[in-house]
């Protein structure tokens, strides 16, 4: 069956008027009649019948119309999908921590949308664990994470390795040894499902001690940093998050933590060739080193 003949039948079946169908299709009426007759011979069924001056669909015609409508809906979807492959378009959702959204991705969005104005880019603030799940659930297209992720269905691209530091406010550390600080001050912790909780667990195992008390302050680097600056206790933070405070002397490093923060972008492997994902990952690879400087 030729698509051209099926399209003619679809229009005739909707209009039930040869003259109107001919206007829409820009065919002559004899051409339309020949195409319908060709379909009827191929299917071995009469598709249209006339009662007086009115045209009706036969039982076979009604069934064929349902199939043809579904067929051309699918054809439209195919054409749309193929058109999208010519370049990025539509919506791209990126999941990342609040810190990454504010300090890395906000300036990157402007650059990306200037390059690809047909893409609407959304940021979804989530910690790494939830960001990974959002990619699996097709809620986010890409996630920027600060944790291990070696699942075989996910594609991972390295962005940065960041030193982690055990820190306290300089005011609170005056005249005290590291041991005194650890013994007499609470540890300011991220949520248990945050990637930092794993780094903290490994650190305390290696020094063979546990915090005397712990205050959980959520999953925001900014919140943890503020708690440290306010003298609430000590914490483990990434070097980039406290770069200014280290420079002005308001935060003191007690010691370096051996396990670094590994920042990566992830997406489902089966979606790696999609234009939106591919172009955004390319921009990440080019821009992330520049942004961290």
The reported pLDDT for the residue numbered 269 is 95
For domain 163-259, give the CATH number: 3.40.190.10
Residues 6+ apart with CB under 8 A from 33: 18
Q: Give me the chain's average pLDDT, please.
A: 89
* 232-287 residue pLDDT tens: 999 999 998 899 999 999 999 999 998 888 999 999 999 998 889 999 999 999 98
3-state helix, strand and coil shares in percent for the chain, rounded to the nearest 5: 50, 25, 25
* Fold (topology level) of 3-84: Arc Repressor Mutant, subunit A (1.10.10)
CA angle 83, 87, 93 (to 5 degrees): 105
pLDDT digits (tens, 9 = 90+) for 33-73: 999 999 999 999 999 998 888 899 999 999 999 999 999 99
pLDDT band at 19 (very low <50, low <70, confident <90, very high): confident
Summarize pLDDT for 123-168 with one digit per residue, the tens. 999 888 889 999 999 999 999 998 878 889 999 999 999 999 999 9
pLDDT at 77: 86
**Res 192: pLDDT:** 77
For the chain, give every domain's residue range. 3-84, 90-160+263-292, 163-259
Phi and psi based region of residue 4 (left: phi greater than 0; alpha: psi -120 to 50; beta: remaining)? alpha
**Separation CA 228–CA 292 (nearest Å):** 23
CB 109 within 8 A of CB 155: no
Q: Are strands 214-216 and 119-125 parallel, antiparallel or unpaired?
A: unpaired
User: For 194-231, what is each residue's pLDDT tens digit?
Assistant: 777 788 888 889 888 888 899 988 778 888 999 999 99
The sign of the torsion formed by the CA atoms of 194, 280, 105, 165 equals: positive
Q: What CATH homologous superfamily does 90-160+263-292 map to?
A: Periplasmic binding protein-like II (3.40.190.10)
pLDDT for residue 290 is more than 60: no
Rg (CA), the chain: 31
Q: At what angle do helices 18-25 and 3-15 cross, to 10 degrees?
A: 130
pLDDT confidence of residue 199:
86
- One fold for 90-160+263-292 and 163-259: yes
What is the pLDDT at residue 242? 92
């Amino acid at each position: 069956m030729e698509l051209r003949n099926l399209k003619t039948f679809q229009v005739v079946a909707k209009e039930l008027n040869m003259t109107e169908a001919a206007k829409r299709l820009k065919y002559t009426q004899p051409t339309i009649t020949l195409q319908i007759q060709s379909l009827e011979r191929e299917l071995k069924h009469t598709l249209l019948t006339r009662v007086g001056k009115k045209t009706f669909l036969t039982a076979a015609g009604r069934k064929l119309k349902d199939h043809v409508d579904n067929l051309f809906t699918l054809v439209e979807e195919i054409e749309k999908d193929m058109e999208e492959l010519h370049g990025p378009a539509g919506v791209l959702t990126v999941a990342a921590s609040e810190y990454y959204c504010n300090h890395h991705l906000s300036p990157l969005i402007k650059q990306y949308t200037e390059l690809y104005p047909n893409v609407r880019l959304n940021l979804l603030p989530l910690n790494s664990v939830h960001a990974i799940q959002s990619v699996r659930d097709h809620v986010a297209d890409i996630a920027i994470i600060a944790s291990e992720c070696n699942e075989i269905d996910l594609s991972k691209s390295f962005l940065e390795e960041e030193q982690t530091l055990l820190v306290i406010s300089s005011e609170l550390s005056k005249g005290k040894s590291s041991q005194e600080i650890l013994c007499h001050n609470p540890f300011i912790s991220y949520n248990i499902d945050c990637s930092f909780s794993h780094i903290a667990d490994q650190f305390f195992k290696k020094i063979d001690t546990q915090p005397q008390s712990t205050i959980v302050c959520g999953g925001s680097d900014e919140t943890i940093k503020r708690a440290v600056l306010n003298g609430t206790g000590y914490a483990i933070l990434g070097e980039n998050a406290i770069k200014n405070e280290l420079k002005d002397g308001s935060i003191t490093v007690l010691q370096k933590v051996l396990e670094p923060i590994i920042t990566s972008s992830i997406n489902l492997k089966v979606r790696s060739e999609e234009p939106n994902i591919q172009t955004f990952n390319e921009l990440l690879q080019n821009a992330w080193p520049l942004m961290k400087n």
